């Protein structure tokens, strides 16, 4: 590996650049995963950080978690009869039931994906 150097005054400094960082939103699930890795798997966290794979991993975890939450919440809503008809008849009841489905889906996804 060749490293280029720049002379400043009497000293040569290496021309080091960080590799480009992935862009994207880490999101709530990604931040929870980062905290989990930092607290419970510090070796894995350090390796991912040094290998420049942590940010992409967190983005992928957040995307996967959000997709699973949406899928599970819609399946729960369908199984429990939370329909557009209910929404038209009683909006507050529909909101209460949908929030319940979403909360249960989030709990499951956090256990299975974020804290694996």
Q: Are 24 and 59 contacting, i.e. CB atoms less than 8 angstroms apart? A: yes
Tell me the pLDDT tens digit for each residue of 61-101.
999 999 999 999 999 999 999 999 999 999 999 999 999 99
pLDDT at 18 over 80: no
pTM of the model: 0.79
Tell me the pLDDT tens digit for each residue of 100-116.
999 999 999 999 998 88
All residues at 6 or more sequence positions from 72 whose CB lies less than 8 Å from its CB, including other chains: 104, 105, 108, 109
Q: Are 12 and 41 contacting, i.e. CB atoms less than 8 angstroms apart? A: no
Helix (H) or strand (E) holding 66: helix 54-79
Domain residue spans in the chain?
A: 24-114
Query: What 3-state class would DSSP assign to 112?
Result: helix
Count of beta carbons in the 10 Å neighbourhood of residue 113: 18
Share of the chain above pLDDT 90, in %: 82
Both tokens of 28, joined, read: 């709530």
- pLDDT band at residue 3 under the 50/70/90 scheme: confident
Share of the chain above pLDDT 70, in %: 99
């Amino acid at each position: 590996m060749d490293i280029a150097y720049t002379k400043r005054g009497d000293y040569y400094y290496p021309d080091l650049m960080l590799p480009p960082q992935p862009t994207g939103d880490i999101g709530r699930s990604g931040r929870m995963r980062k905290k989990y890795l930092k607290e419970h798997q510090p070796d894995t966290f350090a390796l991912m950080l040094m290998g420049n794979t942590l940010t992409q991993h967190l983005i992928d975890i957040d995307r996967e978690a959000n997709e699973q939450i949406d899928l599970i919440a819609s399946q729960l809503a369908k199984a429990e009869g939370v329909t557009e008809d209910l929404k038209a008849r009683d909006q507050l009841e529909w909101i209460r039931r949908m929030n319940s489905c979403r909360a249960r889906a989030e709990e499951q996804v956090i256990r299975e994906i974020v804290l694996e």
